Amino acid sequence: MSASPPLVPPPVSAFAVAMALAVVYVIWGSTYLGIRFALEGGWPPLLMAGTRFLAAGGILFAVLRLRGVSMPTPVQWRNSAFMGVLLLGMGNGLVCIAEQSVSSGLAAVAVASVPLWIGLFATLRGQRSNRLEWLGLGIGFIGVLWLNAGSSLGASPTGLVALLVAPIAWAFGSVWSKGRDLPSPFMGAAAQMLCGGAVMLVAGFALGEGFDVAPSAKGSFAVAYLAGFGSIIAFSAYIWLLHNVRATLAGSYAYVNPVIAVVLGAWLAAERFSAHDIGAMAVILLGVVAITLSKARAPKIAEASA
């Protein structure tokens, strides 16, 4: 009797990819304003982010274990912890720090550079880039330089540094994850949130963060929204995308998020932006669109695992 053929995972449907992208696009676009409301409500940045991710990760982890999902192996915990520190501890944590002095919309514009850094790290890792992608990288980095050279970021050195490092850390973690031994997508999201949240809580207390007064109801509701929608739903969708599509497509949320964040910031928080900020955002998004189009047109080739 011949041996049965190895099990091959079913192909990912275009509808599932589109739904996951829509969740990441819309919900993450609103989280920048949620972070601002949480900070205004009396939550310190790292304690807020750490609480958000530790709670969300704990809930997701418990649900998955009750459903019989296997525990991550020691190697998977190690890899998940590294990703949690990069994507959440540095990527999200630094955005929270920046939003103490920078508007939510402008923070989203700065983070729009994530696909540019993903493209650069993917190229350094050996992934071949075509002319359109190189053009997109060049245009996008000009926009990043323009945004950081003369916008309202210049008035906040801490915010400037935080918003320069945050997208680099997030992009590096996203590219680094390809081909690694990681848990299943949702267990991976839970493990990363647990590890990243714990690191942010430790860092927050180490830096002297604390509560002078009890957080407001509005601020606490914002943290609950960030944990439930931004973390459990949207972050899980992003991790699923990293497992099933190229990192550049998963990172394409960055050119939709700023538009949603700017609109919500202007509508609900009376945020205003200079012509310089809007112009830089337009250049960054042009570069990101060029990169995304280059990936859509490129022939699909197998990516070697590192």
pLDDT in tens, 14-29: 888 888 988 998 898 8
How do residues 251-295 score in pLDDT, each as one tens digit?
A: 777 777 877 887 788 777 777 767 777 787 788 778 777 776 776
The tokens describing 255, both together, are 């050119």
Residue 129 clears pLDDT 70, i.e. is over it? no
pTM equals 0.79
Residue 8 clears pLDDT 60, i.e. is over it? no
Cβ neighbours of residue 246 closer than 8 Å, sequence gap 6 or more: 295, 303
Q: Collapsing DSSP states into helix, strand and coil, what is residue 58? A: helix
Distance, CA of 117 to CA of 122 (rounded, Å): 8
Distance, CA of 304 to CA of 222 (rounded, Å): 41
Q: What is the arithmetic mean of pLDDT over 67-89? A: 95
Rounded to 10 deg, the angle between the 157-176 and 104-111 helix axes is 40
Q: How far is CA 300 from CA 16, 24, 265, 271, in A?
A: 19, 23, 38, 42
Q: What is the arithmetic mean of pLDDT over 62-77? A: 94
Q: What is the arithmetic mean of pLDDT over 107-122? A: 80
The tokens describing 75, both together, are 């190697």
